[in-house]
């Protein structure tokens, strides 16, 4: 898990993402998805406004990087690069709700589907 967080951090700080705007540092860090069976997913929110994301479910994998913003109630991920190994389920933007404990709630089709819990602060 630690290696994956390091890789996501490296992805989030690639030169292609150098144009992200710095953000409120209170939400920056590494997050792990909890509450969804058989799915592994991580998000790394960098202090410089860049993010790295990965999700795996069986043989399906997604990876993305781009910029993130927050208004304190939500975190918006805006994708610059995304890779999937099956089909075309790419997204350009994903909005996560910030819960009262600082977790990030994932939404799919209008329903809360798991929470990203912070596992590393910056």
pLDDT band at residue 18 using 50, 70 and 90 as cut-offs: low
List pLDDT tens digits, range 68-104. 999 999 999 999 999 988 776 678 899 999 999 999 9
Average confidence score pLDDT of the chain = 86
Within its chain, how far is the Cα of 117 from the centroid?
11
Q: What is the CATH number of the domain that holds 102?
A: 2.40.128
| Cβ neighbourhood burial of 80 (10 Å; 0-12, 13-18, 19+) | middle
pLDDT value, residue 92: 87
Q: In total, how many domains does the chain have?
A: 1
Query: Strand, helix or coil at 24?
Result: coil
Share of the chain above pLDDT 90, in %: 70
Q: In terms of residue numbers, what domain contains 67?
A: 2-121
pLDDT band at residue 67 using 50, 70 and 90 as cut-offs: very high
Q: What is the mean pLDDT of residues 20-40?
A: 94
Closest to 103 measured CA to CA, from 122, 87, 119, 86: 119
- Distance between CA atoms of residues 46 and 43, nearest Å: 10
pLDDT higher than threshold 60 for residue 5:
no
Buried b (16+ CB within 10 A) or exposed e, 39-58: bebbbbbbebbbbbbbbbee
Query: Strand, helix or coil at 107?
Result: strand
pLDDT higher than threshold 80 for residue 54:
yes
Closest to 121 measured CA to CA, from 29, 49, 16: 29
């Amino acid at each position: 898990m630690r290696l994956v967080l390091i890789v996501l951090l490296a992805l989030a700080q690639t030169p292609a993402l150098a144009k992200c705007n710095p953000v409120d540092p209170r939400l920056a860090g590494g997050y792990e998805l909890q509450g969804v069976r058989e799915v592994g997913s991580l998000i790394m929110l960098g202090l410089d406004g860049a993010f790295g994301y990965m999700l795996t479910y069986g043989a399906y994998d997604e990876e993305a990087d781009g910029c993130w913003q927050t208004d304190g109630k939500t975190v918006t991920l805006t994708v610059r690069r995304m890779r999937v190994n099956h089909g075309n389920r790419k997204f350009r933007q994903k909005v996560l709700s910030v819960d009262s404990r600082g977790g990030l709630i994932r939404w799919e089709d209008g329903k809360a589907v798991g929470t990203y819990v912070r596992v590393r602060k910056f």
